[in-house]
Structure 1
Amino acid sequence: MTKLKPLALAAVVALAAGEVGAADYRKNPFTLTYDGAITENVAGKVNIHPVKYMLNGLEIAANVYTPPGYDPGQSYPAIVVAHPNGGVKEQTAGLYAQRLAEQGYLTIAADAAYQGASGGEPRNVDKPANRIEDISGMADYITHYAGVDASRLGLLGICGGGGYSLAAAKTGKRFQAIATLSMFNSGRVRRNGFEDSQLSSIQERLQQASDARAQEASGKIIYANDTPLTDEQIAKLPFEMYRQGAEYYQRTNAHPGSSARYTLSSLLDLMRFDATDQIELINKPLLMIAGSKADSLYMTEDAFAKATGTSDKELFKIDGATHIETYWVPEYVNAAMSKLTPFYRRTLEDTRG
C-alpha cells in the first residue's frame, strides 16, 4: 500500500458524510471534479471554454483550455486529451488538459459520442470505432481554433482513451507526438478478461452480446455494469484497479455524466478490437506512462514492446503508483507531468525558424 492511499479513503469518508471538497462537481461552475480546477476565467491565466461541435451528425461537448496570456494572434501547439472508459471531460482528462495548458499548450478534452454531455442514442454505446473517431474529431476542431499551429499537434490518451489514442495514431499522421497514461487495452480486457482471467468464457459472452444486439432490433437496450455498486460490493471487486476505479467514479470524483455502464451489444465490436493490432504503424515519438504498482501495467508493457515502428519511444513507470492513482493523486500527477512536459516541448517545438 502506498503512503497516499489513506487520502483516497479520507475523501470517500468525507463525501459519504456530506462534506464538500475541492473535487465536488456541484461546487464548480464548470462541474469539474479535480482538485485545483478552474472556478472562473481570469485574464492572464489558464482559461476554460466549453464548446460544442458536430461530428458525424452528433453534437459533441468539449472543453478547450487556453494557456496563460493566450493571444489568438499568436501561434500555439495543441494537445488532444482522450478520457478513460466511463469517464468524462470534467475528470482526469480535464485535469491533465489544464495542467498541459499551464505549460503553454492549447488543449481539448471532449466527451465521447454517446456518452457524457455529447449526443448519440442509445446512451453509453462504447464501440472502438466511435472512440477513435472522437479523437480525430477533437483534432479537427482544435486545429482550426484561433492561434493553433496545426503542424504541432500532440495526443494524450488516458486509460481506455490511451488504447484508442494508439489506434488513432496508427493512421492519423497529424499527431506529431503520442503519449499514454495508464493505458487500458479495452478490446483485450473485454475479450480475455482483466489479466486474461476470462479466456474460458469468450464464446459465452459473445453469444450474450449477439443476443443483446438481436433485442436492440426490437427496441430493448441491455446494459452491462448498469447498477452502481455499494461500498461492500466495491470492496469485493477482484482487482485493485476496479476497486479504486469505483471509488474514483462513484465517490471521490463522481460526475453525473460519468457511467461505467455500456450497451452489451458493444462487446461485439470491443471483443474483436485490440489496441496493439498494427501498432507498428506508429512512427512518431511515443511516451507511455504507467504506475509501477498498477495491475494494468501489463497492457502498457505489451503495447510498448510491440510498437516497433518508432525508435523514439520511452516507457516511464511512476514509482509506487497504481492505475487510478495516476488520475488524481498530486504526487503521481506531478510525476506524469514531469515526463509529459519535456516530451511535448521537444516534439512539438516550433521549428519554423
Structure 2
Amino acid sequence: MHYVKKTSFMLAIIFNLLTGVTMAADYKQNPFTLTYNGAIKENIKGKVNIHPLTYKLNGIEIAANVYTPANYDPSKKYPAVVVAHPNGGVKEQVAGLYAQRLAEQGYITIASDAAYQGASGGQPRNVDKPANRVEDIHGMADFITHYAGVDANRLGLLGICGGGGYSLEAAKTDKRFHAIATLSMFNSGIVRKNGYLDSQIDTIQARLKQASDARAQEVAGGKVLYIADTIPTDEQVAKMPYDLYREGFEYYFKTHAHPNSTFKYTMSSLLDLMIFDATANMDLINQPLLMIAGDKADSLYMTLEAFQKAHNTQSKELFLIKNATHIQTYFIPEYVNQAMGKLTEFFEKTLAK
C-alpha cells in the first residue's frame, strides 16, 4: 500500500514537471475554500482581509466575497473594483485571485458568484443567460458602492474571460464604472452561436431547435436539459483542438478545482446566448478601457475585435502578455504579475482622486 501511494505521488510530480502544471491550493484546506496560491487563510489585523457575505438581487441571494485592503478603516474612502468571474468559474478561483491582488494595492474589491451558479441562489441551477450575468455586474456595483469606506466616484470594473464580455456589456450603459479592464475576454454569445473559432456555424439552426425543445420541456415540468453535463476523460481532453478547452479542463477540474465550479449550463440558455454579442454597440463605452490577453491565446481574436470597435473612448490600451495562453493568465505567477502590473498602473491613473 505504501509503495502504491509513493508511486502515485511520484507519477504526479513527473506529470507536473512534464506538463508545466502546478497544483494550486486545495479548497478543502482553505477556510474560505479559495483555490489559488497565496490565498488568504485567516483574517489578520493590518492585512488584506476577506469578508464572505450575501445580498439580494432581484429576489435571488447572491454569494460574494469582499476584500478589504491592509489597515482598512471604514471611516476613510477607498477606490473599489468589481471583479466578474469566467464562464463556469466561481469567486474562489481566478476572480478571487485578482480581487485579492487588487486589494493588496489598496482597493476594496468584490467577487460574487453569478445568479443561478456557484453558491448563489436561483433555480434551475446553472442557467447561463447574458442578461443575468450583466445584471450580476450591476448588482455588485449596487452593493459595493454602499459598502463602508467605498468612494462611489472611484469605481472600476475587471471582467475575466466570459465575465470580460459581460463587463463590456454592463459598462456600455452603467456609467458608475469609471474604468473598465478585461483579462482574456471571451465573447460568450458569439462562441455559443458560431462555435469556437467559427467551428460550428453549420449546426446553428439544429442547436437552436434543440434549445427551443429544451425550453418547451422545462415549462411543461419536464427534465431540465444541460450542455457539457459530463466531464471528458483525459484522453478526450488531450484530443481537443484548442488550448483554451484543454487547459480549461486542467484548471477547473484538476489544479484549481472547486465543487461549485462547472462547465454545464441549461440548453435553453442558448436561446439567449446565441443572440448576444459583447462587441455590439462598443461605441457606447466612453470610459477608459484596458484589455489584457496572452499573445499565444487562441481566444485573442475576441479581444482584438472588441478593442477595434471601441472607438468612442479617448483612452484605450491593448496589453498582450508575451507567450501566455488564455488559461495561463489565470494562475502562472509570471503572467499574473504582468497583468497585475498593468492593472495597477491603469486603475491608479483612472481612479485617482
Structure 2-normalised TM-score?
0.94
- The answer to whether 1:84 aligns with 2:104 is no
Question: Which amino acid counterpart does residue 58 of structure 1 have in structure 2?
Answer: I
Match of 1:102 among 104, 109, 127: 104
Aligned length: 338
> How many percent of aligned residue pairs carry the same amino acid?
72
Q: Measure, in 2, the Cα distance between the counterparts of 1:22 and 1:243.
A: 17
- The answer to whether 1:225 aligns with 2:235 is no
Match of 1:198 among 197, 200, 207: 200
Displacement of 1:10 in angstroms is 5.8
Q: Which residue of the partner structure matches residue 111 of structure 1?
A: 113
Secondary structure, counterpart of 1:315 in structure 2: strand
After superposition, the Cα gap between the structure-2 partners of 1:309 and 1:329, relative to the gap in structure 1 and judged at 3 Å, is same
Question: Which amino acid counterpart does residue 131 of structure 1 have in structure 2?
Answer: R
After superposition, the Cα gap between the structure-2 partners of 1:120 and 1:76, relative to the gap in structure 1 and judged at 3 Å, is same
Q: Which residue of the partner structure matches residue 266 of structure 1?
A: 269
After superposition, the Cα gap between the structure-2 partners of 1:303 and 1:8, relative to the gap in structure 1 and judged at 3 Å, is farther
Displacement of 1:209 in angstroms is 0.6
Match of 2:249 among 228, 246, 249: 246
Query: Displaced runs of 4+ in structure 1, greater than 4 A?
Result: 5-8
Displacement of 1:148 in angstroms is 0.3
The answer on whether the counterparts of 1:294 and 1:322 sit within 8 Å (CA) in structure 2 is yes
Secondary structure, counterpart of 2:46 in structure 1: coil
Q: Measure, in 2, the Cα distance between the counterparts of 1:72 and 1:120.
A: 32
Displacement of 1:232 in angstroms is 1.1
Displacement of 1:22 in angstroms is 4.7
After superposition, the Cα gap between the structure-2 partners of 1:11 and 1:295, relative to the gap in structure 1 and judged at 3 Å, is closer
- The answer to whether 1:122 aligns with 2:121 is no
Q: Measure, in 1, the Cα distance between the counterparts of 2:332 and 2:91.
A: 18
CA deviations over 1:280-326 (Å, ceiling 9, x no partner):
10000000000000000000000000011102000000000000000
Q: Which residue of the partner structure matches residue 317 of structure 1?
A: 320
Displacement of 1:11 in angstroms is 4.5
Question: Which amino acid counterpart does residue 56 of structure 1 have in structure 2?
Answer: N
Q: Which residue of the partner structure matches residue 31 of structure 1?
A: 33
Question: Which amino acid counterpart does residue 130 of structure 1 have in structure 2?
Answer: N
Q: Measure, in 2, the Cα distance between the counterparts of 1:289 and 1:280.
A: 19
CA deviations over 1:157-210 (Å, ceiling 9, x no partner):
000000000000000000000000000000010011100111111111111111
Q: Which residue of the partner structure matches residue 171 of structure 2?
A: 169
Question: Which amino acid counterpart does residue 98 of structure 1 have in structure 2?
Answer: Q
Displacement of 1:92 in angstroms is 0.0
After superposition, the Cα gap between the structure-2 partners of 1:10 and 1:323, relative to the gap in structure 1 and judged at 3 Å, is closer
Displacement of 1:9 in angstroms is 3.4
Q: Measure, in 1, the Cα distance between the counterparts of 2:341 and 2:310.
A: 23
Mark the runs of 5 or more structure 1 residues left unpaired by the alignment: 13-20
Superposed CA RMSD: 1.2
The answer on whether the counterparts of 2:24 and 2:256 sit within 8 Å (CA) in structure 1 is no
- The answer to whether 1:234 aligns with 2:237 is yes
The answer on whether the counterparts of 2:24 and 2:255 sit within 8 Å (CA) in structure 1 is no
Mark the runs of 5 or more structure 2 residues left unpaired by the alignment: 1-14
The answer on whether the counterparts of 1:108 and 1:138 sit within 8 Å (CA) in structure 2 is yes
Q: Measure, in 2, the Cα distance between the counterparts of 1:90 and 1:54.
A: 20
The answer on whether the counterparts of 2:78 and 2:108 sit within 8 Å (CA) in structure 1 is yes
The answer on whether the counterparts of 1:8 and 1:252 sit within 8 Å (CA) in structure 2 is no
* Higher mean displacement: 164-173 or 208-217: 208-217
* Higher mean displacement: 156-165 or 235-244: 235-244
The answer on whether the counterparts of 1:79 and 1:108 sit within 8 Å (CA) in structure 2 is yes
Q: Measure, in 1, the Cα distance between the counterparts of 2:296 and 2:183.
A: 14
The answer on whether the counterparts of 2:181 and 2:292 sit within 8 Å (CA) in structure 1 is yes
The answer on whether the counterparts of 1:22 and 1:36 sit within 8 Å (CA) in structure 2 is no
The answer on whether the counterparts of 2:85 and 2:94 sit within 8 Å (CA) in structure 1 is yes
Match of 1:9 among 19, 22, 31: 19
Secondary structure, counterpart of 1:29 in structure 2: coil
Q: Which residue of the partner structure matches residue 64 of structure 1?
A: 66
Secondary structure, counterpart of 2:178 in structure 1: strand
Secondary structure, counterpart of 1:175 in structure 2: coil
Describe how 1:289-300 pairs up with structure 2 within 5 A. Answer: 289-300=292-303
After superposition, the Cα gap between the structure-2 partners of 1:136 and 1:8, relative to the gap in structure 1 and judged at 3 Å, is farther
Q: Measure, in 2, the Cα distance between the counterparts of 1:325 and 1:213.
A: 36
Q: Which residue of the partner structure matches residue 158 of structure 1?
A: 160
Q: Which residue of the partner structure matches residue 49 of structure 1?
A: 51
Q: Measure, in 1, the Cα distance between the counterparts of 2:314 and 2:244.
A: 31
Q: Which residue of the partner structure matches residue 3 of structure 2?
A: none
After superposition, the Cα gap between the structure-2 partners of 1:349 and 1:7, relative to the gap in structure 1 and judged at 3 Å, is farther
Q: Which residue of the partner structure matches residue 207 of structure 1?
A: 209
Structure 1-normalised TM-score?
0.94
Secondary structure, counterpart of 1:316 in structure 2: strand
The answer on whether the counterparts of 1:192 and 1:198 sit within 8 Å (CA) in structure 2 is yes
Q: Measure, in 2, the Cα distance between the counterparts of 1:39 and 1:298.
A: 37
